[in-house]
Amino acid sequence: MNIVVCLKQTPDTAKVKFDPATRTLSREGVENIMNPFDRQALEAALELKDAYGGKVTAVSMGLPMAADILKDALAMGADEAVLVSDKALAGSDTLATSTALAAAIKKIGAYDVILCGKQAVDGDTAQVGPEIAQHLRIPQLCNSLAITFADGQLVVKKENDYAALTLACAPPVLITVSKSEKEPRFASIKGKMKARKAVIPTWGIADLGLEPQQVGLSGSPTKVLKAFTPTPPEIHSEIIKEDDADEAVEKLFAKLTEAKIIKR
């Protein structure tokens, strides 16, 4: 089974802030990590490879430093990794990002399954996976919790607010992952050594057969107009202390009525 897994390098969003002037994430001094949902997708890819054999290729689009997460992927057990990096990609929205990633996946060659995370924790749109499927004209199954392969079909378990679902689809298929069945594995010593020596190929847009106007700001119909950290709401609290419980309740009712939270 040929498996491609898309990995995005994101800032650790627990520590990141918006820069209102540039309307971008202020990444200064913030550690970059593999998007947590992508780590789950990578684990799901490795579980498929362990169970059914095959090859896992990791692909990331980003700055040259995104090679770090690809090395992590190799250390965890991915067989190959490719970085898509080019100045022309700067400012790409989800359409431009998925255009570049779909072109890279085509160049990687035959694939049975493409795995993406459910969403990236910085952009948070959850659009890139489904858009890649659309570019490649293949079906998509979103928000997977477990993936198996039976009777020539990929079988995906997922849940929503109303039901637990089991869906099946013949390859090639794109699956977005909420959670892998097992916790993402740690890299082995052997894996770390292999990753340290690995030279990760970098493809620019010319290697992907793309024109500059298809990607980056010029290939991005959407723009982030405003981005800021919302001010937390002001919370006024008061403790009602009465010796008599009935009096305390009466006082509480009066306050809630006055604030128009309840009607008497």
Distance CA 60, CA 69 (A): 8
Distance CA 135, CA 101 (A): 10
- Cβ nearer to ligand FAD, comparing 184 with 252: 184
Out of 60, 85, 143, 214, which residue is the one contacting ligand FAD (CB under 6 A)? 60
| Interaction between residue 120 and ligand FAD (CB under 6 A) | yes
Distance CA 122, CA 94 (A): 12
β-pairing verdict for 9-11 and 32-34: antiparallel
Out of 117, 172, 216, 219, which residue is the one contacting ligand FAD (CB under 6 A)? 117
| Interaction between residue 250 and ligand FAD (CB under 6 A) | no
Task: State whether residue 181 is helix, strand or coil.
Answer: coil
| Interaction between residue 222 and ligand FAD (CB under 6 A) | yes
| Interaction between residue 4 and ligand FAD (CB under 6 A) | no
Q: Which amino acid is at 56?
A: V
| Interaction between residue 124 and ligand FAD (CB under 6 A) | yes
DSSP state of 188: P
Kindly state the smallest distance separating residue 125's Cβ from ligand FAD, in Å: 3
Joined tokens for residue 2: 């040929």
| Interaction between residue 6 and ligand FAD (CB under 6 A) | yes
Q: For the CA atoms of 116, 117, 121, 127, what is the dihedral angle to 10 degrees? A: 50
Return the residue nearest ligand FAD (CB atom).
123
Binding marks (x or -) toward ligand FAD, 125..164, rule CB under 6 A?
A: xxxxx-----------------------------------
Lookup result for tokens 């990590």: 33
Joined tokens for residue 199: 């030279």
- Cβ nearer to ligand FAD, comparing 124 with 247: 124
Quick check: bond before 233 cis, omega within 30?
no
DSSP state of 132: H
| Interaction between residue 123 and ligand FAD (CB under 6 A) | yes
Residues within the interface to ligand FAD (CB under 6 A): 6-8, 25, 35, 37-38, 41, 60-62, 92-94, 97, 101, 116-117, 119-120, 122-129, 222, 224, 227
